[in-house]
Amino acid sequence: MHQSSQQNTLGVDFGTSNSAAGILVNGRPHLIEIEPGLTTIPTAVFFDFARKRTLFGNAANAALLEGRDGRYMRSLKSVLGTSLMHEKRLMMGENLTFIDIIGRFLKEIKSKAEASCGQGFDYALSGRPVHFHSSDEAKDNQALVDLKECYLRAGFRDVKFLFEPEAAAVANGALARKGTIGLIVDIGGGTSDFSLFKSADRKVETAHDIKIIASHGVRVGGTNFDKCISVDHVMPLFGKGTEIRKELGPGTHTAPNAIFQELATWEKIPFLYSRATRRDVALLHRLAQDRHLFSRLATALELELGHDIAFAVERGKIEANKADRNGSKIDLRAVEPQLSVAVSKEDLTQSLDHLGLKIQNCAMETLVMANCPAPLVDKVIFVGGSSLMSVVGCAISEILPNAEIAYSDAFTAIVDGLAIAASRPFADLPA
């Protein structure tokens, strides 16, 4: 695709679970094919040890599912602002940090966008959550510093940032009735973000045409949903909550919880594949009252099946959440033939209600920040893949029962808005 008027800034939605890029073409957002036929790709990286190649997106997922020898990484965005970002790890003969790894993922997006559009992109307008770390200001600030460095490593000369719910507000410029107050609810893979805005008197074309009244966020997203479901319903099949005999003397104690928490956390799974962890599990297996469960755990670590388990949980969550289903099952045959666990809608509610409450409280805090009573909100617009979870809709509808509910394109609203906003000269974009 070659455009007639060159736009030197690429809109990039670097997400916890999925990523996309776009520009404005003939007055409309154009999403760029990062992979053939696909404008949204998984935020995933696979280091293929046998072929000495680094794979991205769906190719990375495919390599994992094919069982290739290598190291798979997902939820990279969740590591921003933490000490893990700058720790070096040996990958295919190179000492790499997460800055390097994320930089290469963003470079892949940049290169594919340039090839597709027939031009270079020197600058990026990136989406960002309102808070990377909602309870730690220092980590929150460091996360933005880290992300900027990743874009520079990718080859961009500079990058500016736009709050993700504000980008979604730009994309939903059709909300043009004068005086309408709307709340963008963006539930992504790692964060939940909110922007309360007032509609413009004219067609919304850039971020400057929207009056943002308040923006707020909390570190709760789809990966947190996955973790809670996994911890509650899957990890007991691997020994969580069972009794371990003491090495010396009589009595038992409950199996340490940390390993199950990490096995249920997307971004921490790769760090479990170490000799030290396998030794710990071997000891638990020897002392366990139910040794079969720890045999499964040892198999999962030995064969590096942690992400297979996580994908199974994610699929089961999506199926159980569907309106026409009373429940589903999490298929764990990758670990053991015929192994599965049933998950009902009631199970989802019990596991996720506390996260729904956090989302609800953050939405209410957004209204308080704006000094806007709930009855004044005319419309709620949901974006982000995890906004489709019923626990989210119920949490927001409970506090805004009179607002019109709308679902924007779950996966492209943010990048659409970034593409529109990025059409302005880079120097004119907000710092």
Residue 367 domain-assigned (yes or no)? no
Looking at residue 413, its pLDDT comes to 87
Looking at residue 416, its pLDDT comes to 92
Contact 424, 417 (CB under 8 A): no
Residue 68 domain-assigned (yes or no)? yes
Domain residue limits at 329:
223-348
Are 29 and 125 part of one and the same domain? Answer: yes
Cα separation, 151 vs 122, whole angstroms: 11
Q: How many CB atoms lie within 10 A of CB 199?
A: 23
Looking at residue 209, its pLDDT comes to 53
pLDDT digits (tens, 9 = 90+) for 338-388: 999 999 989 999 999 999 999 999 999 999 999 999 999 999 999 988 998
Looking at residue 406, its pLDDT comes to 86
As to burial, measured by CB atoms within 10 angstroms (0-12 exposed, 13-18 middle, 19+ buried), residue 276 is exposed
Closest CA to 148 of 136, 137, 140, 156: 156
Are 144 and 54 part of one and the same domain? Answer: yes
Looking at residue 408, its pLDDT comes to 77
Are 165 and 17 part of one and the same domain? Answer: yes
Are 166 and 43 part of one and the same domain? Answer: yes
Looking at residue 206, its pLDDT comes to 46
Residue 53 domain-assigned (yes or no)? yes
DSSP-assigned letters across all residues of 67-86: T-SEEEEE-GGGGTTSGGGG
Q: Domain end: 302, 330, 348, which one?
A: 348
User: Which residue type does 19 have?
Assistant: S
Domain count, the chain: 2
Are 103 and 230 part of one and the same domain? Answer: no
Q: Domain end: 348, 364, 382, which one?
A: 348
Are 266 and 136 part of one and the same domain? Answer: no
Residue 363 domain-assigned (yes or no)? no
Residue 403 domain-assigned (yes or no)? no
As to burial, measured by CB atoms within 10 angstroms (0-12 exposed, 13-18 middle, 19+ buried), residue 169 is buried
Looking at residue 109, its pLDDT comes to 97
- Specify the CATH number for the domain of residue 415: 3.30.420.40
pLDDT digits (tens, 9 = 90+) for 112-133: 999 999 999 999 999 999 999 9
pTM for this one?
A: 0.88
Are 37 and 163 part of one and the same domain? Answer: yes
Residue 415 domain-assigned (yes or no)? yes
Cα separation, 231 vs 381, whole angstroms: 31
Are 142 and 272 part of one and the same domain? Answer: no
Closest CA to 244 of 282, 217, 284: 284
Are 328 and 416 part of one and the same domain? Answer: no
- The ranges of the chain with pLDDT < 50 are 1-5, 174-175, 204-208
Closest CA to 34 of 54, 58, 53: 58
The owner of tokens 């036929």 is: 37
Are 154 and 272 part of one and the same domain? Answer: no
Are 123 and 244 part of one and the same domain? Answer: no
Residue 126 domain-assigned (yes or no)? yes
Q: Which two tokens stand for residue 379?
A: 């419309």
Residue 366 domain-assigned (yes or no)? no
Q: Domain end: 348, 374, 397, which one?
A: 348
Cα separation, 147 vs 78, whole angstroms: 11
Are 26 and 167 part of one and the same domain? Answer: yes
CA atoms within a 13 Å half-sphere pointing along the CA-CB vector of 112? 24
